[in-house]
């Protein structure tokens, strides 16, 4: 067996933003689905709770454990590409970046993706990672089948035809139903996207939001608090030719402005909050319009080097503008100084039990603050607005909701918890976060 296991003096695990730490009694790095199953079986026999961590990009304690921590870095790589079915089967610990690059080399692509690609495949799908899209959004909605290690150490495969009740829930399973060992995604021939980034006023974006959503395959925008300024991004399929941003202009926009200078601005804002409104005006005016055409992952994703804490809520799409205007009014009448833009994206309804877009056309409103900045006051005020609109919190981002609230906004909530009772009656995969959001 090549499973790597450490016990006793196990190291402390921290998430990317530094908001969560965990000290497991044991760690393991299985190198195959069989080893993973044996690792889970042994931990359950020893009375240990089991969680898998990816790259730690969740802001919640969804992956924290004091029992066995499974690190998936040896569960990586593409198992197979099926060009007849147009699917790719990938090991669960594979980083999305490696998957995207490998697919591109094969002339293939996922249909849609989120705005970063650092996460592992299993971490991204388990928490409902999504991009923006009129017709396609979450990564989980592109899954065609899943391989899952359940609490008794058995390997369970699910799809629309095989164990469909498990498939409906496990695509966004929160780590509560088992440990994912492999995922099969639908893919398509690689295509080109033309990205059009353009500054636009808050009033114009909000008044034209429905049209901008309808007319573009992928529309999103960022509003800079303390200003009336937004930056919009429209991504649409293109016949080509490819016209990526020039190396210098890409470095200026994606590294210097979005990471380097923004990092300095955030540090200054955290140290001297009264400077934030001025910095926001300068930041929102520094971004100029640009258009470029490239393969999907180079358009959808961007480097994110400035560390932050984030809360994101999914609201019915028709409520998005009202909710955002309420957030703007709240900030303007409060003493809050907000250094990070507010991000707005959309998703079509899907059929995944606990997807934030389950059964309804959805808009996402995400708020962020620079790492180390007190965030509870701001996030609490925003959360109050979102829950008044029936908002569903992103499973991997900061929120205070519990099972009682979530059962009200997810019509199929009981379906998920009943399946969990069947697959994991002893809560081998439980932790404090899951106890709060799913109940006992």
Torsion 406-407-412-418 (CA) sign = positive
CA atoms within 13 A on the CB side of 21: 5
Whole-number Å distance between alpha carbons of 74 and 68: 16
pLDDT digits (tens, 9 = 90+) for 96-113: 999 999 999 999 999 999
Whole-number Å distance between alpha carbons of 125 and 2: 27
Whole-number Å distance between alpha carbons of 319 and 333: 21
Please give the sequence-ordered ranges of beta strands (E in DSSP) within 129-283, or none if there are none.
143-149, 155-159, 179-186, 188-189, 192-201, 218-223, 229-238
With b meaning 16 or more CB within 10 Å and e meaning fewer, what string describes 372-397? ebebeebbebbbebbbebebbbbbbb
Tell me the two tokens of residue 56.
């730690």
Least confident residue range of 95-99, 115-119, 173-177, 325-329 = 115-119
pLDDT at 1: 42
pLDDT band at 401 (very low <50, low <70, confident <90, very high): very high
- Consecutive H or E run containing 33: helix 33-45
On the question of pLDDT at 9 being above 50, the answer is no
pLDDT band at 277 (very low <50, low <70, confident <90, very high): confident
Return all residues near 38 (Cβ < 8 A) that are at least 6 apart: 1, 3, 30, 153
- Residue range 64-82: mean pLDDT, rounded: 96
pLDDT band at 254 (very low <50, low <70, confident <90, very high): low
On the question of pLDDT at 179 being above 80, the answer is yes
- Consecutive H or E run containing 363: strand 362-370
pLDDT digits (tens, 9 = 90+) for 319-372: 999 999 999 999 999 999 999 999 999 999 999 999 999 999 999 999 999 988
pLDDT band at 282 (very low <50, low <70, confident <90, very high): confident
- Residue range 200-213: mean pLDDT, rounded: 98
pLDDT at 286: 72
50 with 67: CB under 8 angstroms?
Answer: yes
pLDDT at 231: 95
Closest to 339 measured CA to CA, from 293, 274, 285, 394: 274
């Amino acid at each position: 067996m090549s499973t790597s296991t450490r016990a006793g003096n196990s190291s402390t695990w921290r998430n990317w933003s530094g908001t969560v730490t965990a000290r497991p009694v044991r760690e393991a790095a299985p190198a195959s689905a069989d080893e993973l199953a044996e690792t889970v079986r042994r931990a359950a026999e020893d009375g240990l709770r089991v969680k898998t961590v990816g790259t730690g990009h969740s802001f919640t304690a969804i992956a924290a454990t004091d029992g066995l921590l499974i690190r998936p870095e040896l569960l990586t790589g593409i198992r197979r590409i099926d060009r007849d079915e147009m699917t790719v089967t990938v090991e669960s610990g594979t980083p999305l970046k490696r998957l995207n690059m490998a697919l591109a080399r094969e002339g293939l692509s996922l249909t849609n993706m989120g705005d970063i690609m650092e996460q592992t495949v299993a971490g991204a799908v388990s928490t409902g990672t999504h991009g923006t899209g009129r017709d396609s959004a979450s990564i989980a909605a592109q899954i065609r089948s899943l391989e899952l290690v359940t609490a008794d150490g058995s390997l369970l495969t699910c799809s629309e035809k095989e164990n469909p009740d498990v498939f409906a829930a496990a695509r966004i399973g929160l780590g509560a139903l088992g440990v994912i060992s492999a995922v099969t995604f639908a893919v398509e021939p690689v295509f080109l996207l033309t990205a059009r980034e353009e500054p636009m006023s808050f009033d114009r974006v909000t008044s034209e939001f429905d049209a901008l959503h309808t007319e573009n395959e992928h529309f999103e925008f960022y509003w800079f608090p303390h200003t009336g300024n937004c930056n919009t991004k429209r991504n649409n399929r293109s016949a080509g030719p490819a016209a990526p941003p020039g190396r210098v202009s890409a470095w200026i926009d994606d590294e210097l402005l979005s990471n380097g200078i923004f990092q300095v601005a955030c540090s200054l804002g955290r140290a001297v909050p009264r400077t934030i409104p001025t910095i926001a005006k300068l930041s929102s005016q520094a971004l100029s319009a640009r258009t470029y055409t490239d393969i999907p992952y180079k358009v959808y994703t961007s480097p994110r080097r400035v560390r932050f804490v984030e809360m994101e809520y999914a609201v019915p799409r028709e409520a998005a503008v009202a909710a955002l205007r309420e957030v703007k009014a709240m900030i303007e009448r409060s003493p809050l100084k907000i250094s990070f833009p507010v991000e707005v994206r959309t998703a079509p309804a899907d059929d995944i039990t606990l997807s934030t877009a389950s059964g309804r056309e959805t808009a996402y409103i995400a708020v962020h603050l620079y790492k180390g900045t007190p965030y509870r006051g701001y996030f609490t005020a925003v959360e109050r607005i979102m829950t008044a609109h029936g908002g569903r919190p992103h499973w991997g981002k900061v929120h205070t909701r519990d099972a009682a609230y979530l059962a009200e906004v997810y019509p199929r909530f009981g379906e998920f918890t009943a399946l969990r009772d069947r697959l994991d009656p002893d809560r081998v995969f439980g932790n404090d976060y899951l106890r709060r959001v799913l109940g006992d």
